[in-house]
Amino acid sequence: MKHRLMVIASGAALVAGLVAANTADAHGRSARAILANAEGARIGSVEFRTDDGHTEVRVRLTGAPGVDAFHGFHIHANDVPANGDGCVADPTTAPATWFVSADGHYNPTGAGHSHHVGDMPVVYVSADGSVETRFRIDRISPADLNGRVVILHAGADNYANIPLGSLPTQYTANSADATAATAKTGNAGDRVACGVIASR
């Protein structure tokens, strides 16, 4: 009887070990963020999945602001507690104050804009306010995204390739500060939607 109990216990431990191993293997292979606007209304989701050594990003939005236009779309660091945590916005204040709690682009290597770990392709908001797109990124895995933040910006991202200046193809009067600004953020503008990423 004692021998049988030991076998059962050993079998149970083996099953538990296999379950734990499978759970550990699966954990961190996907991540998700629910995006909301400054009023707190949900506008969609962004999913990240490991796919053949890359990370596939799937974006589904409805009721997004700024229709018929491209919008900057980035992963932000959310790593400065003094600025708040996650997605904090007061819709009664100026848009420039929204979601500053998410901090800057996620950029642990100190690279220039368009080479930030958190840089992603722009997304196009259709006339009905919807976005349905997917793409691959290769600088970060879902397991490393937990606690970071996805931000949808008010304007398009020039990826620091279009200089500031007075020409029609440029943005504003040129200056050292303005040039530094476009090199840092690509002139994507205010933050209009936000979602904290959770690994799964």
Structure letter (DSSP) for residue 101: G
The pTM score is 0.78
Q: Which helix (H) or strand (E) holds 198?
A: strand 191-199
pLDDT bucket at 32, cuts 50 / 70 / 90: very high
Position with higher pLDDT, 40 vs 177: 40
| Residue 119 known to be catalytic | yes
- Options 32, 74, 139, 148, the catalytic residue: 74
Residue 75: other Cβ atoms inside 10 A: 28
Assign 73 to helix, strand or coil. Answer: strand
- Options 105, 144, 148, 157, the catalytic residue: 105
| Residue 76 known to be catalytic | yes
| Residue 27 known to be catalytic | no
pLDDT bucket at 163, cuts 50 / 70 / 90: low
- Options 32, 71, 119, 148, the catalytic residue: 119
- Options 71, 139, 148, 191, the catalytic residue: 191
pLDDT bucket at 139, cuts 50 / 70 / 90: very high
- Options 76, 144, 148, 157, the catalytic residue: 76
For 21, the token pair is 């191993």
pLDDT bucket at 166, cuts 50 / 70 / 90: low
Q: Sketch out the chain's domains with CATH numbers.
A: 29-199 (2.60.40.200)
Residues 106 and 117 sit within 8 Å (Cβ to Cβ): yes
pLDDT bucket at 100, cuts 50 / 70 / 90: very high
Residue 190 has pLDDT above 80, yes or no: yes
Residue 21 has pLDDT above 50, yes or no: no
Amino acid identity for residue 7 in this structure: V
> Which pLDDT score is estimated for 140?
94
Residue indicated by tokens 């292979």: 29
- Options 32, 71, 103, 116, the catalytic residue: 116
> Which pLDDT score is estimated for 157?
87
Closest CA to 76 of 55, 40, 58, 102: 102
* Averaged pLDDT, 42-70: 95
| Residue 153 known to be catalytic | yes
| Residue 71 known to be catalytic | no
